[in-house]
Structure 1
Amino acid sequence: MKKKHLKAVFASFLMASTVLAACGGDESAEKPEENKQAETDKETEDKNTEETKEVKIEDTDAAKQAAAYADMMAELVKAKEDQEVNWDTVQEKYEAGLQKDVAELAPEFDQAIQAALAAGKNGEMEPIISVQLIDKTTQSYFYQNQKALQKEAAAALAEDKKEEANLAFVQIQHLAEKVFIPTAEKRDNYYELSGDSSLVENINSGLSAQEEALNSGNAEDFQVFLQVTDKSIYRSYYLASKSYAEKMEVGAKEGKDSKELSIMQAEAWGFYQAIKGSLGGGDEAAAAELDKLFTLNTTDPATIKAAETNALFAKAIAGKIKGYYEKAPNLVAEGNAVEAKVGAMEGNMFLKMLQGQMTEKLGEEKTQAVFADAEAWYNAIAENKPEDAKAKSDAVISAINGLL
């Protein structure tokens, strides 16, 4: 596994750790007798890449759904220009290309989209607010669909069903290109994220590492790097919701009207739906309160404060981190090395979500020290050394508690 993938994601944080774990800790130069095997591996990788390219992406379910979404948005975008929206056309596109799949995977999303469509059509809601609810809730569906495809790809690869794994993975790549990357770019621009902090780079690095693992048939690496891709997309949705909370507070101070604030609130709510269930596992009360704050007709958007939403997000995300930091050593003790590494990576990807808040509160130097401890913790878990992991774990959790 090449270092370049992780370098873009973590810089020093985790850069070497997963590489060492994937390569058995041996980074020595290739021996002459290994050249023939390396060439054989390259031929196999090239063959597998060719097989992936044979998939007609336009014929896949994900591509058809993304196309239906694009068609819907082509009509819905008229509301942003104060033009009349043909709601019947949007309804037809939704029902023909998305509704069945959304209802099957996340029925609550279907209900929200249908309600927003009806409210926009009958005039119960400002058209642009309906549009934002439909747009962002559909994007939340695509995130959940990505998770389902990741699970499908990982299971297929573990069973050596390369063709099935490839089919699922190319759909993930397509959704990243059409849905996740454009959204991530907006967050990168808003928060001025670049290099190892860039959401776009993190998503692409995760996908590249996953693809390499898939081509080499390494199911274990695929599962570990899956967390880089998935949680980077997750971070994009989190930062989207967080940014709208900040914009609402600024907007209220600037005297923006209730319509403008409600549009932001609708966007925050729609993006939040993607991660609400997961955050509830970190802190149910905090997740529920965030949902309440972002819900139209429940909270006046002019009263939303960035500090409050940031604190709630930190509380829920900290709960997720603590859960993985507790679970991973237990999995090592039980002899479940693969799940332990996957869980450790997942815990550290949640830690990365709090990097901005941590830097703001602790400063750059102390934050980097926390990430160095997190890297060492991952190494200890990957190397089956739960005792060595304990001290590093305590240091990371102590820092996290300092944010609460």
Structure 2
Amino acid sequence: MNKKKHLITIFASFLMASTVLAACGGDQTTDKPEQTKQAETEGDKKETKEEVVTGTDVAKQVAAYTDMMSELAVAKDGQEVDWDTVQQKYEAGLQKGIADFNPEFDQAIQAALSAGKNGEMEPIIAVQLADKTTQSYFYQIQKVLQQEAADALGNEKQNEVNFAFEQIKFLAEKIFIPTAEKRDSYYELSGDSSLVENVNSGLSAQEEAIAAGNVEDFQVFLQVTDKSIFRSYYLAVKSYAEKMEAGAKEGKEKQELSIMQAEAWGFYQAIKGSLGGGDEAAAAQLEKLLTLNTTDPATIKAAETNALFAKTISGKIKGYYEKAPKLLAEKNIAEAKGSAMEGNMFLKMLQGQMTEKLGEEKTQAAFAEAEAWYNAIADNKPEDAKVSGNAVISTVDSLL
């Protein structure tokens, strides 16, 4: 049995195993010269890696985004934004990359900046639309880089693997972790539920797979990293729906609610394409609810958005719970494991809803079955996988 199999879980055992791995070799006493040399060497490596990332398009785009946000941030204090400067920074450092990758993202950002400048939209709303749509772009770029790293690892092109993965870690540090920290704080997530812990654990496990030259493990751990970032965007949208409903009840002005709606819409852009594959109608309805000129934010209800998310995400879970056994039957265990992990990462997204509706005991039982299902797929035990898989899907259906 592959000893790494038991690391590949989104629950406590995954994080505990990752912690143990990180601790290995770390119990040398501090007075040994070898450790000092090792620290110096690691410091040099870190500096070298940062230098490698510095000249990349990703680093330049993040720098342009940071410069833009420095200027746009003054709107939060009621100060006047220099829209021409922001537009120039966008056009010089970001527009081509975004427009080439996703013209709709570029159109949304351009429209927001233009509306903010012309007074057609409150400045802070325009800021949030530009900010969150750009973050959605960076998430999609991360997915591309992950595939590039996986392909390079499979072809034993180590320099290309390292080049792509250093950019992924750079994006995580500069873009994804700060967003995840806010969601962890809002929902009081810690331990195996923490978004930050899950992202970092996924990245660490991916890095170990790179060191071992194991593309199969890399592809599986990729799902932990990617879907933990995805989950942070999902929870961001979910949290703003809750805040809008609460704000409406408190009598907050529409402008304040519209700011939240703009933030939710921007974050939703990162994940809506994937969610459409789970339930197209529910995903489209979420888009409609979050669109400023379509829905009054005072009418948005958390229960409705939660129900729509449950439909889309449960559709994704079911899709992967069907796909993984089929891949197993085709003797494609590597892809079956990746699909199984992806299905379980989508299940992780519904943990809060499951706990609220079904209780802690039934939720943990479902996660135990999900882990058993993954292990059965990894061990090529289709009958065992069928039993555990049916139990998980039954629980998911009870949310709908």
TM-score by length of structure 2 reads 0.90
The corresponding residue for 2:255 is: 259
The corresponding residue for 2:385 is: 389
Structure 1: 5+ residue stretches without partners: 19-45
Do structure 1's residue 271 and structure 2's residue 267 form an aligned pair? Answer: yes
**SS of aligned partner of 1:266:** helix
CA distance in 1, matches of 2:371, 2:15: 5
Superposition pairs of residues 244-393 of structure 1, within 5 angstroms: 244-393=240-389
Superposition pairs of residues 1-400 of structure 1, within 5 angstroms: 9-12=10-13, 53=49, 56-400=52-396
Q: Deviation of residue 12 (structure 1)?
A: 3.9
Q: Deviation of residue 53 (structure 1)?
A: 3.0
The corresponding residue for 2:21 is: none
CA distance in 1, matches of 2:214, 2:59: 26
CA distance in 2, matches of 1:161, 1:100: 28
CA distance in 2, matches of 1:261, 1:316: 25
Q: Deviation of residue 50 (structure 1)?
A: 7.9
CA distance in 1, matches of 2:49, 2:5: 25
**Contact kept in structure 2, 1:184 and 1:200, CA below 8 Å:** yes
CA distance in 1, matches of 2:265, 2:356: 25
Q: Which runs of 4+ in 1 moved over 6 A?
A: 1-5, 13-16, 49-52
Aligned residues: 377
Alignment CA distance shift 1:156-1:121 (3 Å): same
Q: Deviation of residue 51 (structure 1)?
A: 11
Alignment CA distance shift 1:13-1:170 (3 Å): closer
**Contact kept in structure 2, 1:76 and 1:90, CA below 8 Å:** yes
**SS of aligned partner of 2:252:** coil
**Contact kept in structure 2, 1:13 and 1:375, CA below 8 Å:** no
Alignment CA distance shift 1:117-1:359 (3 Å): same
The corresponding residue for 1:43 is: none
Alpha-carbon displacement from aligned partner over 1:321-345 (angstroms, at most 9, x marks no partner): 0000000000000111111000000
Alpha-carbon displacement from aligned partner over 1:10-53 (angstroms, at most 9, x marks no partner): 1047978x9xxxxxxxxxxxxxxxxxxxxxxxxxxx9xx78973
**SS of aligned partner of 1:270:** helix
AA matched with 2:11: F
TM-score by length of structure 1 reads 0.89
**Contact kept in structure 1, 2:6 and 2:375, CA below 8 Å:** no
Structure 2: 5+ residue stretches without partners: 19-41
Cα-Cα RMSD: 2.3
Alignment CA distance shift 1:265-1:204 (3 Å): same
CA distance in 2, matches of 1:4, 1:325: 19
AA matched with 1:10: F
CA distance in 2, matches of 1:209, 1:95: 37
Alpha-carbon displacement from aligned partner over 1:158-207 (angstroms, at most 9, x marks no partner): 11011001100000000000000000000000000001100001000000
**Contact kept in structure 1, 2:15 and 2:201, CA below 8 Å:** no
Aligned-residue identity in percent: 78
CA distance in 1, matches of 2:291, 2:300: 11
Which structure would you say has the larger RCO, counting Cα contacts within 8 Å and 6 or more residues apart? 1
CA distance in 2, matches of 1:202, 1:3: 17
**SS of aligned partner of 2:90:** helix
CA distance in 2, matches of 1:13, 1:138: 31
